[in-house]
Structure 1
Amino acid sequence: MKQRTLLNTIGLAMAGAVMAGASFAQEVTLRFGHYAKPGDTAYLAAEHFKFTVENMTGGEVEISLHPAGELGNSPTMLEGARLGSIDLVLVGNPYFTAFAPQVNLLDLPFLFQSAEHAYAVMDGEVGEELMASINQSNLQGLAFWEIGFRNLTNNTRAVETPADLAGLKLRTTPNPAHLEAFKILGANPAPMPFSEVYSALQTGTIDGQENPVNHIYASKLHEVQKHLSLTAHAYTAAPLVANYGKFARLKPEYQEALRIAAKLSASYERALNAAKEAGSLQAMIDAGVEVVKEPDVSAFRAAVAEQTRVAYVDQFGDDLLNKVDALAE
């Protein structure tokens, strides 16, 4: 019921925005590239962002949406935003670590105790500092959206303990903390763009992957996976960023509309993820996926959490990490 109410509310808002925007002259068009396919919560949040911006600016700013990697895979789109060939981009936080390695903090395994803990970090002082590090690379950060808490799928065996990962070839993000964690656990991490994952699973190039429940279901990965383990071993943010030069040339009122819409859409996506997760999980169970609902999370945490934290502290110090831990109290 909550999900239906949420979707009905945003549907009415979008319809009103279309009607309002139709009577105004377009002044600026911004190309927005992202990874999400129809049905994914990030796809719906991008639509929310589009209609919010267009409504707030009376149709003078148009957001041209390009979903599902239409403008390239995640690293390609992010590079396009830095170079200015794409105006707005939404990709997972791990793709920023190549040029803004401090944001690797958000990807540390078992960093967050809950979604609320993650939101307190991203929406507060720590998030501001991390976004500032992104902004040094010809980007303008607008808000932290999310991919969510990651869970394991594979075609080989049910994963209940760390030992069950031995030898599995798993698609991971290119984030150093993710790579190190899976090596420690005995798996063979294989970073690749998300757009290539379905076919790699289908052909057996990889055994499995790890993503949030909603993202797995919306991307139809359950069609080519037998086992799902609810490990929630890491959380992935998705910064929404703009090309710095393009953003700086916009009228101040347009800049403010983008900032406000980005934060509103982040909140919308978070609510939508919470509302859809149980249904996404049940749909995969109904489709025949075998789910381990209570793997030995404490064993996974004991194996990787401290080691990956030490590597981060060695490079960046413990100030931000201490602030993250303090927000969990």
Structure 2
Amino acid sequence: MLRTLMISGAVSALMTGGALAQDVTLRLAHFAAETHPGHIAAQSFAEAVAERTDGAIAVELYPANQLGSPPEQLEQTILGAIEMNLPTQGGLDKYEKAFGTVMTPFAFSSYEEAHQVLDGPFSDWAGPKLEDQGLVLLSNWEYGFRNITNSKHPINTPEDVAGLKLRTPPELQIVAALEGLGASTTQIAFPELPNALNQGVVDGQENPIGVIYHYKLNDFQENLALTRHVYNSMVHVINKDVFDGLTEAQQTILREESVRAGQMMRELVIAQEEKEIAALEEAGMQVTRPNLAPFAALMGPARDRVAEYSGRENMDTFLSFLD
């Protein structure tokens, strides 16, 4: 009942039977910086939707956590106070545990493998589960493989991670991976991270290359290790009541343009990663590319923690997709 009461003006502009009574504005909130490929893709999505619907659907963008922290934005999308959101699987798994399996440490060996699994069997299996939470999965976008930075020393082996105090988001999979390598972890809200790094509250943090680069975390960190310990992506979701109120043609347009924008983001992230790493090195950051096999070999306990959190049956299903 609460979710119905919270539905925004987008639904009030819809008539029964899915026919539009007037033009609709859909707000899309996300956490990426305005220079990040995530926001560039969101802009492209908004422009294409407006063009293909002849202006009947306008998409307003709110990047960089303008409408609240990532958990707050997702909750508001479920309630209908925000129409669309781009959470990661780590946000979605608070509502549907199947999504927690994606961030199993060292699950994917490449972007290609991750995309093939997420776009195929994983979405077919987990996507419908989100509808029970009031969300429709439009498509998978990108975020990237996560890597460790720190201000103490270069990381070449798992032993170099041991003893570091690292900031993580409040996502068990990432915590489990880093603690499995011997680090201690603490959760700090991302907007507070630069100050925490600057003041030495933590030794380091972990994020995809694009985040490290676009938020200039190298201003506070001397060392970057390409550990690629967890993969996750933005997932484009829309409030189910809002989506159900659109015409079938409009729903198709949203799905198609979401997929196109997500593919655009993937291409941008992958193309820019090596350039961003080079730019970080040029700015003075020491970058190491450790052999990841010894890191992955220590992940047994971490994977057990993820399986317990996500559900053993969910984990078995996810692992079958990898096979």
Q: Which residue of 2 aligns with 1:182?
A: 178
Give the secondary structure class of the aligned counterpart of 1:29: strand
The answer as to whether partners of 2:142 and 2:269 remain within 8 angstroms in 1 is no
Q: What corresponds to 2:256 in structure 1?
A: 260
Amino acid in structure 1 at the alignment position of 2:249: E
RMSD: 1.7
Q: Which residue of 2 aligns with 1:118?
A: 114
3-state DSSP class of the match of 2:147? strand
**8 Å contact kept, 2:148–2:207:** yes
* 1:308 maps to 2:308: no
Secondary structure of the residue that 1:232 maps to in structure 2? Answer: coil
The one-character-per-residue Cα deviations of 1:176-219 (angstroms, maximum 9, x if unpaired) are 22222222211112233333322222222222111111221012
Corresponding residue number in structure 2 for 1:296: 291
1:141 alignment partner in structure 2: 137
Answer whether contact 2:121 2:321 (CA < 8 A) is retained.
Answer: no
Number of aligned positions between the proteins: 300
The offset of 1:312, in angstroms, is: 4.4
1:240 shift after superposition: 1.0
Q: Distance in 1 between matches of 2:116 and 2:228?
A: 18
Aligned to 2:318: 321
Shift of 1:59: 1.3
Q: Give the residue type in structure 2 aligned to 1:324.
A: F
| One-letter identity of the residue aligned with 1:145 | W
- Percent identity, aligned pairs only, is 33
1:137-216 equivalences in 2 (<5 Å): 137-216=133-212
The CA deviation at 1:265 is 0.7
Q: Quick one: which amino acid aligns to residue 46 of structure 2?
A: K
Match of 1:132 in 2: 128
Structure 1 residue 316 displacement after superposition? 2.9
Supply the distance in 2 between the matched residues of 1:169 and 1:252 (Cα, whole angstroms): 50
Structure 1 residue aligned with 2:18? none
2:277 aligns with: 281
Partner of 1:51: 47
Unaligned runs of 5+ in 2: 1-21
Aligned to 2:85: 89
The answer to which of 175-184 and 279-288 deviates more is 175-184
TM value normalised by structure 1 = 0.87
Task: Render the CA deviation track for 1:121-162: whole Å, top value 9, x for unaligned.
Answer: 111022221222222211111111111011110111111111
How many Å separate the matches in 2 of 1:297 and 1:37?
A: 29
User: Partners of 2:188 and 2:321 in 1: how far apart?
Assistant: 29
1:137 counterpart SS class: coil
Alpha-carbon offset, residue 175 of structure 1: 2.2
One-letter amino acid matched to 2:301: Q
Identify if the C-alpha distance between structure 1 residues 134 and 191 changes in structure 2 by more than 3 Å, giving closer, same or farther: farther
Q: Following the alignment from structure 1 to structure 2, what is the Cα–Cα distance between the partners of residues 245 and 257? A: 17
The one of 243, 251, 262 aligned to 2:247: 251
| Aligned-partner Cα distance in 2 for 1:39–1:310 | 37
Per the TM alignment, residue 78 of structure 1 is displaced from its structure 2 partner at its CA by 0.7
Deviation at 1:79, TM superposition (A): 0.8
Which letter maps to 1:147?
Y
**8 Å contact kept, 1:152–1:211:** yes
Pair 241,282 (structure 1): closer, same or farther in 2 beyond 3 Å:
same
Shift of 1:321: 2.9
Q: Which residue of 2 aligns with 1:76?
A: 72
Assess if the C-alpha contact under 8 Å between 1:226 and 1:288 holds in 2: yes
In 1, the alpha carbon distance for the partners of 2:264 and 2:246 equals 25
